[in-house]
Amino acid sequence: MALFLAYVIKPNAQELAEAVGRPPATFGDAVKAAEELRSLGAGAALASLGGDGQLLASAEGTYYGTAPVSPDRVRSNVGAGDAALAGFLIAGGTGPDALASALAHGAAAVQLPGSAMPTPSDLRAGAVRTTRDLRLDLPVSAMPRTTGATAV
C-alpha cells in the first residue's frame, strides 16, 4: 500500500535519513533510501545532498549530479531546496535534464542572500554535471553529524 501519492518528493539529506530511519553513509545508501521512498508511492525522489550534489531516483533510473559552488560564494542555504525543486519542475520534472536544472537553480540560490530565488541570469548551467555512473561506495559528507545541523 502506498503511503503517499506524490509525483516527486524532494528531501534534503537529513529529511531523507528521517524518512527511512537511518542516515545514508554512502551514495549507495542514499540511492537505497530514495528507492524506498519511491516504493512508498513517490513517483520520483530528488534528494539534495548539500555540497555532495543531488540524486534523482525515478522510473527512468537513477541519476546523480553536481554544480560546485566555492565555499566563499555561499551566502545562504535557506530556500535552496525550494529553488532546486522549482528548477526540476520548470525543466519537465523528469530525467537528467530536469536534474541539471534543479542543480543549477539550487547552486544559484545558495549564492544569494536569505531566501532569494534565482533568476535566469543567476544560473550557471555550464557548471552542472550529471551522470548515471556513480560510485556507490563513496561517503555522503552532507549528513549532519551533530544535532540541529542542516544540509542544503
pLDDT at residue 41 tops 70: yes
Q: 42: part of which helix (H) or strand (E)?
A: strand 42-48
d(CA 64, CA 54): 6
The answer to whether residues 43 and 69 touch, using CB atoms and an 8 Å cutoff, is no
Note the pLDDT of residue 50. 87
Task: Return the pLDDT at 51.
Answer: 86
Q: What is the mean pLDDT of residues 35-47?
A: 93
Distances in Å between the Cα of 150 and the Cα atoms of 41, 42, 76, 136, 141 are 26, 23, 12, 23, 12
Predicted confidence (pLDDT) at residue 35 exceeds the cutoff of 60? yes
Q: What is the reported pLDDT for 2? A: 58
Cell of 132: 548515471
Percentage above 90 pLDDT, the chain: 79
Residue 144 has pLDDT above 60, yes or no: no
The per-residue pLDDT for 134 is: 86
In sequence order, what are the residues at sequence separation of 6 or more whose Cβ sits closer than 8 angstroms to the Cβ of residue 17?
Answer: 23, 24, 33, 143
Alpha carbon 123 to chain centroid, angstroms: 16
Check residue 148 and give its pLDDT. 32
Are 120 and 143 a contacting pair, CB within 8 Å? no
3-state secondary structure 63-132: EEEECCCCHHHCCCCCCHHHHHHHHHHHCCCCHHHHHHHHHHHHHHHHCCCCCCCCCHHHCCHHHCEEEC
pLDDT given for residue 146 in this prediction: 35
pTM assigned to the model: 0.87
Query: Cβ(23)–Cβ(31) under 8 Å?
Result: no
145 or 130: which leads in pLDDT: 130
Is pLDDT at 70 greater than 60 in this prediction?
yes
